[in-house]
């Protein structure tokens, strides 16, 4: 599949609403907010994500491997996951092992069913079948989230 699809026009306003609700302490389903320092400005940049757990490890997926938040995650290597008023500082490690990427993508349609439509809309998959997601593992960015290593307060998002 190609990445020629586009995200729906309502997504940016919806993301703003989701971020606002989280700031008010209202968590929504599996959605968390990931905040990562911008790669050029260092200013915090936030976007909704849905972490999933596979083989006891937690991951987040960027449907567009070259999205701003994925590039920021690669550059910073850390961020903050927020759900409602709870937050957790995490290290972000991009997964390069193809077998692990396939396992994570295979689990996605079951673990995060509300996210399937975004992958379909982007043209990454045609349906919600786990095999289609596994086949698309090389087209997305997969990051493992780990408890943050100690770093100076100035380096926190």
HEC profile of the chain: CCCCCCCCCCHHHHHHHHHHHHHCCCCECCEEEEEEECCCCCCEEEEEECCEEECCEEEEEECCCCCHHHHHHHHHCEEEEEECCEEEEEEEEECCCHHHHHHHHHHHHHHCHHHHHHHHHCCCCCCCCHHHHHHCHHHCEEEEEEECCCCCHHHCC
The whole-chain average pLDDT of the chain stands at 87
Name the range with the highest mean pLDDT among 19-28, 58-67, 95-104, 108-117: 95-104
Query: What's residue 3's pLDDT?
Result: 41
Domains and CATH numbers, the chain: 11-146 (2.30.110.10)
pLDDT tens digit string along 80-130?
999 988 899 999 999 999 999 999 999 999 999 989 988 998 889 999 999
């Amino acid at each position: 599949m190609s990445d020629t699809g586009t995200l729906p026009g309502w997504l940016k306003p919806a993301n703003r609403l989701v971020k606002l609700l989280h700031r008010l302490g209202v968590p929504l389903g599996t959605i968390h907010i990931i905040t990562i320092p911008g790669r050029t400005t260092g200013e915090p940049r936030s976007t909704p994500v849905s972490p999933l757990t596979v083989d006891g490890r937690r991951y987040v997926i960027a449907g567009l491997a070259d999205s701003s938040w994925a590039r920021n995650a690669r550059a910073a290597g850390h961020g903050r996951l927020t759900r409602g008023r709870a937050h957790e500082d995490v290290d972000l490690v991009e997964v390069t092992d193809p077998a692990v990427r396939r396992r994570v993508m295979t689990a996605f349609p079951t673990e995060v069913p509300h996210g399937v439509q975004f992958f379909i809309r982007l043209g990454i998959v045609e349906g919600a079948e786990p095999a289609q997601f596994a086949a698309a593992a090389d087209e997305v960015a997969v990051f493992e989230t780990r408890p943050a290593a100690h770093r100076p307060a100035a380096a926190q998002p």
